[in-house]
Each structure stands twice: as structure tokens, then as C-alpha cells.
């Protein structure tokens, strides 16, 4: 599997599988590229999939964080560089969660729209903050509560910035970190198993290192600060998308309410919605068979 050199000289790992028409696949926060394989394997005889591991994850876990740029703008810069490396044009793009934010950032600040043959947008809002004019941001009406938690989380992480890995923290602050993360899980409320696991880890410290999506303190800080300070509004940019666009939306999503996602999809001239009625933000986990089937249907429709 190849590594591609990014503008700052770091090597980004990109998983490549299949043959045929190019499809770029952008993961959500915490995902590894291999997690897409069960959903893409049925299509590898007709399509070549490019799945970058974002910095801090999988094959890109050793990539350093650029000091001059936040996570989403950096992901777009890396993606733009990768598109140039691969000489991609008129290609299919799939973006899930943070990957979809990266795509929308490219639509707003780059020329991504002109390069797309089709786009699949998976459960993401175009505007993270909620306000008087947009109540469908991160956790919807709970946004201001979650922002306070993000602020507490960020302050905690910056306080212990001299530690490289979570499991190097002394027991007391490490337990505090797990408790903060548990508060996020409780607010989301869609995964009943996670709070049980976290509460167990609070009593058994040896389990704590396995429960956070990122073990490196600098990366955890980078991503938390991104969501705390991300004030972009991509609604106008994505509404001008002319290529065939499909939205996968979790009907039960507490992270990004369905009403906001439907408003965005309905603003496009050439879009359709696929609703996952039993899912929240993670239809690939809660409805994997349908998720796989709908990806194949999307690809077949736009090719």
C-alpha cells in the first residue's frame, strides 16, 4: 500500500483496492481505512478505491501535525494534494462524517465541485455550531452544552500537553479524561453499551487505554480543538453541487439531527436521500447489510 508525500513533507498512507473507475473514500474521525473493506469488496472489479488514513490513524499514525492549520483545513490540503498526485478528474467521492466536512471544505475553499462525477454524503451537517438561524449543528439543541464540554476537554488536554500518550498520564488525570469522554457518550445517548464499558474502565484503570479513539495526546487535542473552534458554514457551497448526489442519513442520529440534513439535501438540484431508519450516526455499524447494498446501488446508478 502506497504512501504519498503531503505539502509539509509528511507521508500519508492511502489504501488502494480494486480496478476500474476511481472512487475516493473519506473516513470519519477515529476510523481506519480497512474498516471500509466489507462494504467495498463487492465492487472491486469495477472500481478502484482510494481510502486515505487521516493523520493520527492507521498507516498515517506517525504523520506529524502541522502547526499552522486546523484539522479540517489540513485534511482538505492533504486531499487536494492526493487528487493532484493521482491526477483525478471526474471521479466519484464518498465522505462520511468528518470526511464529509473535508469534502465540503474543498467545495468552499477549493475547486472540488468541478472534479466530481458524483458525491455520496454520509451523515454530516454543513454547519457544526447551532445558533438562532441553524439548530441542527453538533448534537442539535444540545450544542451549547456540548461546546462547554469541548472547552473543558480542550483545557484539560492543553494542561497535560507535555505527555505524548494517554496511557502515560498519571492515574488521577487519566481517570478524569475518561470521565470527560464518558460525558460525551451520555449526551449522545444512542449507544447503550459504551457507558457501561466506560464506567467499568473507571473502576479498572488497565482498561482505560483501549476506550479512547486516539491515544496520542497531541492528536486528541488537535481534533477536539477542531470541533470546538470550527465555525464554518458550508450550506451555500454544497447547495451549488450539480453532480448526482446521494445522502445517507441516520433517522435516529442525535449527533446531527435528520431535519438539518434533509434541509441541505433538498437544497440541491440533483440529489436523493437514503434513510437508515434503525440508525443514528453510524449506519455502517447498525445497518451494515443495508449500508453495503446502498453503496453498491449508488455506484451502479452514477456509473
Helix (H) / strand (E) containing 85: helix 71-86
Q: Name, in order, each residue with C-beta under 8 angstroms of 245's C-beta and a sequence gap of 6 or more.
A: 118, 119, 120, 121, 265, 268, 270, 271, 272
CA angle, 7 as apex, 5 and 8 as ends, to 5°?
Answer: 90
Q: Would you say residue 21 has pLDDT above 90?
A: yes
Report domain 3-127+232-302's class.
alpha beta
Instruction: For residue 198, give Cα distances in angstroms to 179, 191, 193, 297.
Output: 8, 12, 9, 37
Nearest alpha carbon to residue 117 among 47, 179, 186: 47
**What DSSP designation does 12 have?**
E
Q: What is the largest CA-CA distance in the chain?
A: 55
How many CB atoms are located within 10 Å of the residue 214 CB? 19
Tell me phi and psi for residue 4, to 5 degrees: -120, 140
**What DSSP designation does 165 have?**
B
* Contact between 257 and 136 (Cβ < 8 Å): yes
How many CB atoms are located within 10 Å of the residue 62 CB? 11
Nearest alpha carbon to residue 221 among 62, 73, 75, 56: 56
Q: What nine digits make up the cell of 93?
A: 467521492
- Single pTM value for the model: 0.92
Instruction: For residue 194, give Cα distances in angstroms to 50, 96, 142, 189, 197.
Output: 31, 21, 19, 9, 5
d(CA 43, CA 16): 13
Which pLDDT score is estimated for 1? 58
Share of the chain above pLDDT 90, in %: 75
* Contact between 104 and 245 (Cβ < 8 Å): no
Pairing label, strands 3-5, 11-18: antiparallel
Which pLDDT score is estimated for 43? 98
Q: What is the mean pLDDT of residues 260-286?
A: 95
Query: Could you tell me which residue, 6 or 187, shows the higher pLDDT?
Result: 6
Instruction: Kindly list the domain boundaries of the chain, sorted by start residue.
Output: 3-127+232-302, 140-229
Which pLDDT score is estimated for 210? 53
Helix axes 98-109 and 71-86, enclosed angle (nearest 10): 70
Which pLDDT score is estimated for 191? 47
In tens, the pLDDT along 218-259 reads 999 999 999 999 999 999 999 999 999 999 999 998 889 999
Q: What is the mean pLDDT of residues 170-188?
A: 78
Instruction: For residue 157, give Cα distances in angstroms to 178, 216, 224, 238.
Output: 12, 11, 9, 33
Lowest mean pLDDT among 35-39, 178-182, 189-193, 296-300: 189-193
In tens, the pLDDT along 53-99 reads 999 999 999 999 988 899 999 999 999 999 999 999 999 999 999 99
Q: Would you say residue 208 has pLDDT above 60?
A: no
Q: What is the mean pLDDT of residues 122-145?
A: 93
Which pLDDT score is estimated for 239? 95
Which pLDDT score is estimated for 257? 94
Which pLDDT score is estimated for 185? 67
**Torsion sign, CA atoms 194, 197, 200, 202:** negative
The string over 172-186, giving b where at least 16 C-beta atoms fall within 10 Å of a residue's C-beta and e elsewhere, is eebbebbebbbbebe
Q: Which of 113-117, 204-208, 253-257, 280-284 has the highest mean pLDDT?
A: 113-117
Amino acid at each position: 500500500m502506497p504512501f504519498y508525500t503531503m505539502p509539509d513533507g509528511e507521508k500519508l498512507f492511502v489504501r488502494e483496492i480494486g480496478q476500474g473507475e476511481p472512487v475516493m473514500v473519506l473516513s470519519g474521525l477515529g476510523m481506519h481505512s480497512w474498516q471500509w473493506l466489507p462494504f467495498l469488496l463487492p465492487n472491486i472489479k469495477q472500481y478502484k478505491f482510494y481510502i486515505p488514513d487521516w493523520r493520527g490513524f492507521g498507516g498515517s499514525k506517525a504523520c506529524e501535525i502541522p502547526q499552522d492549520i486546523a484539522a479540517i483545513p489540513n485534511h482538505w490540503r492533504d486531499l487536494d494534494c492526493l487528487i493532484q498526485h493521482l491526477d483525478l478528474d471526474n471521479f466519484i467521492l464518498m465522505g462520511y462524517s468528518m470526511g464529509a466536512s473535508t469534502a465540503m471544505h474543498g467545495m468552499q475553499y477549493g475547486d472540488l465541485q468541478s472534479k466530481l462525477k458524483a458525491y455520496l454524503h454520509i451523515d454530516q451537517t454543513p454547519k457544526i455550531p447551532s445558533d438562532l438561524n441553524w439548530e441542527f449543528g453538533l448534537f442539535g439543541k444540545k450544542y451549547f452544552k456540548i461546546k462547554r464540554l469541548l472547552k473543558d476537554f480542550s483545557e484539560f488536554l492543553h494542561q497535560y500537553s507535555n505527555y505524548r500518550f494517554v496511557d502515560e498520564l498519571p492515574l488521577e488525570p487519566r481517570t478524569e479524561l475518561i470521565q470527560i469522554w464518558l460525558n460525551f457518550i451520555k449526551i449522545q445517548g444512542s449507544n447503550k453499551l459504551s457507558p457501561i464499558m466506560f464506567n467499568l474502565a473507571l473502576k479498572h484503570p488497565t482498561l482505560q487505554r483501549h476506550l479512547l479513539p486516539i491515544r496520542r495526546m497531541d492528536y486528541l487535542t488537535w481534533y477536539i480543538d477542531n470541533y470546538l473552534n470550527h465555525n464554518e458554514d458550508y450550506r451555500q457551497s454544497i447547495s451549488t453541487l450539480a453532480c448526482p448526489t446521494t445522502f445517507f442519513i441516520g433517522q435516529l442520529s442525535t449527533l446531527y439531527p435528520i431535519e438539518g440534513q434533509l434541509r441541505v439535501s433538498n437544497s440541491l438540484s440533483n440529489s436523493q436521500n437514503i434513510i437508515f431508519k434503525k440508525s443514528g450516526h453510524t449506519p455502517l455499524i447498525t445497518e451494515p447489510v443495508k449500508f453495503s447494498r446502498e453503496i453498491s446501488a449508488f455506484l451502479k446508478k452514477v456509473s
